[in-house]
Amino acid sequence: MFTLLIATRNRHKVGEIQSILGDLHRYMTLADFPGAPEVVEDRNTFAGNAVKKAQELSRWLAAGQDRPEGRLLVLADDSGLEVDALNGAPGVYSARYAALESGGEGNSPDSENNARLLRELADIPTEHRTARFRCVIAAADAVDLEAETPTFDGACEGRIEFEPAGEGGFGYDPLFVPDGFEQSFAELGEETKNRLSHRARALEKLKPWLEARLG
Ligand code: IMP
């Protein structure tokens, strides 16, 4: 059995990750480690940020007193939205898209990020509003710090609507309609999203890698 430290405080992501990886593993999250350092996501690729976060946290765990016993991996994901008409923006800046414009610090509320995205796309017609969510998950070994840190990626293609719809999910979900559907991720509900999403697709690659190592 692995203990998997899911390096996020986003409860939507924790639920999605656990439901896909199943009950072969023991799960912990950053909520179990209140003293964990805040890792600055300053790389210009999703993979760069995911690897940085997974490795910094595994080094922190290995140096401390309360590292759980046994085989321990830190799973860190970095994800975001790429909009073709904006040359791939907001990309790695998805969480702080509105703040980048206003000069504010840190991440922005989802409603402000969505409002900026709609403003940027105001003159773009439906056929050019293509976009995708992308996710990269890095798995760092918190016992053998010399082990390689593999990455697993996934994407979900779709388009950006003209106004938000739906109450579910988080982030850009109310604006994103996945290919083959007419409703946003926020309307489609967790079960459907968890089948289609960028994170689901990355997790479907991570799952056999983990299981092959369970022996
Ligand atoms: P991070 O991976 O937590 O850094 O996420 C970056 C940002 O991308 C989030 O704050 C959201 O704005 C956006 N994002 C990532 N995944 C999703 C998703 O599944 N739905 C909606 N927005 C997402």
Cβ atoms of residues 85 and 117 within 8 Å: no
Dist. CA 20–CA 200, nearest whole Å: 7
Dist. CA 149–CA 52, nearest whole Å: 10
Using a 6 Å cutoff on CB, does residue 82 contact ligand 1? no
Distance from chain centroid for Cα 184: 18
Question: So what's the pLDDT on residue 13?
Answer: 82
Using a 6 Å cutoff on CB, does residue 97 contact ligand 1? no
Which ligand 1 atom is nearest residue 199's CA? Answer: 19
Using a 6 Å cutoff on CB, does residue 197 contact ligand 1? yes
**Which CA distances in Å does 24 have to 18, 29, 140, 208?**
10, 16, 18, 12
Cβ atoms of residues 138 and 76 within 8 Å: yes
Locate 138 and state its tokens. 């890095």
Dist. CA 61–CA 74, nearest whole Å: 9
What is the DSSP secondary-structure string of 23-50? TTSEEEEGGG-TTPPPPP---SSHHHHH
Q: Please name which of 159, 154, 200, 198 lies closest in space to residue 181, comparing C-alpha atoms.
A: 159
Cβ atoms of residues 142 and 72 within 8 Å: yes
Backbone angles phi, psi at 70, to 5 degrees: 85, -160
Cβ atoms of residues 210 and 193 within 8 Å: no
Q: How many CB atoms lie within 10 A of CB 133?
A: 25
pTM over 0.85: yes
- Does 173 qualify as catalytic in the annotation? no
Active-site annotation holder among 32, 42, 78, 110: 78
**Distance (Å) from CA 212 to ligand 1 centroid:** 29
Using a 6 Å cutoff on CB, does residue 6 contact ligand 1? no
**Strand 151-160 relative to strand 176-178: parallel, antiparallel, unpaired?**
antiparallel
Using a 6 Å cutoff on CB, does residue 95 contact ligand 1? yes
Q: Evaluate the omega torsion of the peptide bond into residue 208 and state whether it is cis, within 30 degrees of 0.
A: no
**Distance (Å) from CA 70 to ligand 1 centroid:** 31
| pLDDT tens digits in sequence order for the chain, 215 residues long | 899 999 988 887 888 899 899 998 999 999 999 999 999 999 999 999 999 999 999 999 999 887 888 899 999 999 999 999 999 999 999 999 999 998 988 899 999 999 999 999 999 999 999 999 999 999 999 999 999 999 999 999 999 999 999 999 899 999 999 999 999 999 999 889 989 999 999 999 999 999 998 87
